[in-house]
Structure 1
Amino acid sequence: MYIIKTIDCLYKKIQFFKKKGKTLGLVPTMGNLHKGHIELILLAKKHADIVIVSIFINPMQFDNTLDLKNYPQTFLEDYLILKKEKIDILFAPETPEIYPNSINMHTYIEVPKLSKIIEGKSRPGHFTGVTTIIGKLFNLIQPNFAFFGEKDYQQLLIIKTFVKELNYPIKIISMPTIRLKNGLAFSSRNRYLNNLELKKAPFLYKTIKKTINIIIKNNGNKLHETIDFAKQSLIQKGFLVDIFNVYNLKTLNFFSKKNKKNIILASVWLGNTRLIDNEKFILLN
């Protein structure tokens, strides 16, 4: 496994593999790796000759400086995981390597509509930071494939959109959310939860599943009452609800009975930890 810190070294290694006709697969991360990341790496190995994992805690996508400061940095643990998985390249640049000048004055990539609704409305600038760093990584590595989890569904849809609209010759491959047996989605932010919160956290996914069952049973009728009931259930359990609603799977417009493919997107606070989750469903009639 090559550990690369600079863009110059990365470029040389990428060109070396490309001249050999190797296909490249990129798994972008912010470190603090967990089972979800490992499953993405295993998926990447099935598609690409060379697997590249990036670790970069991207300051541009944090709307809260305290959140950035507190984000878990576990490079040694991550290194050992990646070494065990026998990836080919770990790209782990320092911030000045990626943003040599002021972040606020840096050129950025933005997907106008999708970046400013739902999670983007609650976290202004977040998705602009995501698309900018992903675009930079795509330019630097020029992968054939890039791999993302579906837990961050709005982010996934935004990345697919800018890849299509900016004509990147990259295939985006996604993987369903990896969960613990109790339903809690694997997330780097789970480290912030105390023992009591860890016991409560799976209730979010259970509520999403229960809500979908009610929506399907009612054929999409009484949606507002169903969503309000779900929110109240979460509040009574100790969650602070920011987002919990039904959206069109492809456009993220609000639910309409004309839409067959839908998704519930949820963002909640449990103590000081923001948890996000989702689940797709099909309304047949």
Structure 2
Amino acid sequence: IPLSSLVPQSFSPAAASGGLLCFLSDCSGPKTLLLVNPISKIAACLPPTPTPRLFPAAALSVGPSSITAVVAGDDLISPFAVKNLTSETFLADAATGFYSPWTGPPSPLPRLCNIDPSRMAFAANRFYCMSSSPFAVLVYDVAANAWSKLQPPMRRFLRSPSIVELDDAREGGGGDGGGKIALVAAVEKSRLSVPRSVRVWALQACGRAWAEADRMPADVHARFCAAEAGRGFECVANGGVIAFTIKAAAAAAAAEVLLFDSIRKEWQWAPPCPFVAPYGGSRALRGFAYEPRLATPAIGLLDSSLSLSFQGFSG
């Protein structure tokens, strides 16, 4: 599905929810979020964030008549300055008539964290994302406009951790917050008592403890390690399925996508993506939990006058 007529070159994909793809402006300064329905060819922009930022993380949750978006990261536009990590939230709900375009003071993130600018997962009115050095799970409560920190399992031995939302009750998750949170990561420890593996942990109902749900079988792990070659990987979930994509790999390896069905406890390789190899080794797949929808009524809460023409748009 071509997006060049809908998305300017100065935007990069950041999130997906409710049939909409979210693109974040690349330029440092106030950030613009562009929401696109690639099926209906409708697009609309959120108002620019009041706080200028460099490389923030962006999150999106879209319901039938509501939009929640979060931009979190450093509030400076220089990579050489001391970071002050905060977040801003956009809320629009047609059912209640509530509309809050980045109002209120920015919410500070927990101390001693380094937010992962990749993606966030949404469940039970909370956004979850990873922090590195050392690894921790950051939790943003939308209603309370407050952040907290959650310790992940085996945090000293994790590599390439990802937070995903799983929904075992239905085939499509869609990221609307009806599922549960899981953490996926490679485990690497020098002692032979803990063999190298890739594991999946589920966040328990109490919201503070983790339980191991599954781990990659030895034969699958061997092939996965050969393709990944230590470059790192990302995970995204839709319904009860987790997809593993490889970071910054050679074109052939980047086309490798591993799927884990958490309901059937099955691991299998997806067919190679035919659109990756022609672009060369500098490109890699990025996965989003996207469900095509012809109608996305929530986008009507925004100004869609830019839906078909972005000539002169600078972001």
- TM class, shorter-length: under 0.3
With the length of structure 1 as denominator, give the TM-score of the two structures.
0.28
Which one has the bigger strand percentage? 2
Q: TM-score, normalised by structure 2?
A: 0.26
